[in-house]
């Protein structure tokens, strides 16, 4: 599968669908109790470690960033798509959103308490994942938490050519085995601490992994 232009294809696709994507996803968390529970656990882990900034990498229209803020976190969003960032700033004007790429994450070393990659790795080719995880580890403080959510599957990929109201898109969608993602995390130096499989009987289940950067341990109270 040709993924040579995946970064530009992803940016252009989400610029095209930004408004319709935001409209469809705005209330999505209200219908997903297990996703809300995972985000609540992330908030507990950050607070128990003393707090600090939380980077929502691949934040889209900012609805999850805003949810983290409502949970009391100092959350900010980064997304590849300028149009998505425009929508996020419009819908959540009090929060910080910046255009950026997880492949060249423009954050200082050891600057954030947690990183959230909530279904934002699904368009990243396999050979780019180690470098992206390396950036996540670099920007995390010692003992910081990484939450990764993704489509679970038997290492399958497909090309999505339209979506979110029928708009044209060109993005490769990757479904990955949780054990493979866990292996990538360990290879990047993370300790994998928890795994959750969501809707295992559905056509496209979801998976969530919690991992920790070197130098600390969970202290939820």
Task: Give me the pLDDT at residue 220, please.
Answer: 35
- Select from 148, 126, 124 the least CA-distant residue to 198: 148
Residue 218, in any domain of the structure? no
Number of structural domains in the chain: 1
Tokens, residue 187: 């290879």
Residue 126, in any domain of the structure? yes
Residue 177, in any domain of the structure? yes
Residue 130, in any domain of the structure? yes
Contact between 120 and 77 under an 8 Å Cβ cutoff? The reply is no
Tokens, residue 136: 């996540």
23 Cβ contact partners less than 8 Å away, ≥ 6 residues apart: none
Helix (H, G, I), strand (E, B) or coil at 99: strand
- Range of the structural domain that residue 52 is part of: 6-212
- Local mean pLDDT, 10-residue blocks, the chain (221 residues): 77 94 87 95 97 98 97 98 97 97 96 98 96 97 98 89 84 95 98 96 94 69 29
Distance CA 93, CA 88 (A): 8
Task: Give the CB-side neighbour count of residue 117, counting CA atoms within 13 A.
Answer: 28
Residue 45, in any domain of the structure? yes
DSSP string, 165-199: TTEEEEEEEEEB-HHHHHHHHHHTTPEEEEEEEE-
Helix (H, G, I), strand (E, B) or coil at 173: strand
168 DSSP β-pair partners? 162
Residue 219, in any domain of the structure? no
**CATH at 154:** 3.40.50.150
Residue 200, in any domain of the structure? yes
Residue 32, in any domain of the structure? yes
Task: Give me the pLDDT at residue 216, please.
Answer: 57
């Amino acid at each position: 599968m040709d993924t040579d232009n995946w970064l530009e294809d992803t940016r252009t696709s989400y610029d095209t669908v930004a408004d319709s994507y935001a409209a469809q996803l705005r209330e999505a968390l209200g219908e997903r109790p297990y996703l809300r529970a995972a985000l609540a656990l992330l908030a507990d882990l950050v607070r128990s470690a003393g707090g600090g900034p939380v980077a929502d990498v691949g934040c889209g229209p900012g609805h999850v960033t805003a949810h983290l803020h409502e949970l009391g976190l100092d959350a900010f969003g980064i997304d590849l798509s300028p149009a998505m960032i425009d929508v996020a700033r419009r819908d959540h004007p009090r929060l910080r959103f910046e255009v950026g790429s997880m492949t060249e994450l423009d954050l200082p070393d050891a600057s954030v308490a947690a990183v959230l990659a909530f279904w934002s790795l699904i368009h990243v080719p396999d050979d780019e994942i180690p470098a992206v995880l390396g950036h996540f580890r670099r920007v995390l403080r010692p003992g910081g938490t990484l939450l990764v959510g993704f489509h679970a599957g038997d290492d399958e990929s497909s090309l999505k050519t339209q979506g979110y109201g029928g708009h044209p898109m060109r993005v490769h969608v990757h479904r990955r085995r949780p054990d493979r993602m866990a292996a990538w995390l360990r290879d990047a130096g993370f300790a994998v601490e928890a795994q959750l499989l969501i809707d295992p009987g559905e056509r496209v289940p979801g998976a969530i992994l919690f991992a920790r950067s070197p130098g600390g341990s969970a202290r939820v109270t």
